[in-house]
Structure 1
């Protein structure tokens, strides 16, 4: 299995935003969508801010693969289900990184209502 380098984790995890694109069935990439990303230890996580019906999230789940770019790094990824015990750490990472945007906005990506919309980004 491929892993993130320390430099990739630092650059992507430190970026304010991430662009994500899922793959179509023919292998081509859909258009990139800008979202937030957080780093927890040596893993990267994203969440759908507006629930499981958010189009980028539905497509990422359906395809299982795509590409991300942030912090000058562009990599193919697998959209993986995160371990069940990571959600409190992901919440804390979102709060630490994005709380300056205010509780209304950060509230869309933290808490039990977004557990089901959390994806781990695994490098390919």
Structure 2
């Protein structure tokens, strides 16, 4: 899998939120908080697996993220939850007490999405 570039990681590290669009339905996307952990990007739906944007991420498996003026095509992985306690800690470190209210409980943990950049042709990816 193609890792985030150093420039992407710097941009993501400095941002509080990103705009996530799942699929190709023309929906403008949803602004969500995100965390980086070991070079992996994670978001959570605070309303859990019933969240429409989480369901779209699960159903489509791809989309786009926008941070500032930068937009990237991405792959969206749901269902594995990632390293839950480490993600909780990363959210608490970044967002403080707000994280406990929104994204560190069991409902939000169940709706964890890992976001990875789409491999480019330069990386040897097949179309």
Bin for the TM-score computed over the shorter chain:
0.7 to 0.9
Q: 1-side partners of 2:55 and 2:78: how far apart?
A: 13
TM-score (norm 2): 0.82
Q: 2-side partners of 1:21 and 1:84: how far apart?
A: 20
Does structure 1 retain, via aligned residues, the 8 Å contact 2:57–2:77?
A: no
Instruction: Note the 1:1-124 alignment, pairs <5 A.
Output: 1-24=1-24, 28-81=25-78, 86-99=83-96, 102-103=97-98, 106-124=100-118
Mind listing any 5+ residue stretches in structure 1 that lack a counterpart? none
Q: 2-side partners of 1:33 and 1:84: how far apart?
A: 20
TM-score (norm 1): 0.83
Q: Which contiguous aligned blocks of 4+ residues in structure 1 show a shift greater than 4 angstroms?
A: 82-85
Does structure 1 retain, via aligned residues, the 8 Å contact 2:81–2:111?
A: no
Q: How many residues align?
A: 118
Q: 2-side partners of 1:83 and 1:41: how far apart?
A: 16
Provide the secondary structure at the position in 2 that maps to 1:110.
Answer: coil
Q: 2-side partners of 1:18 and 1:35: how far apart?
A: 6
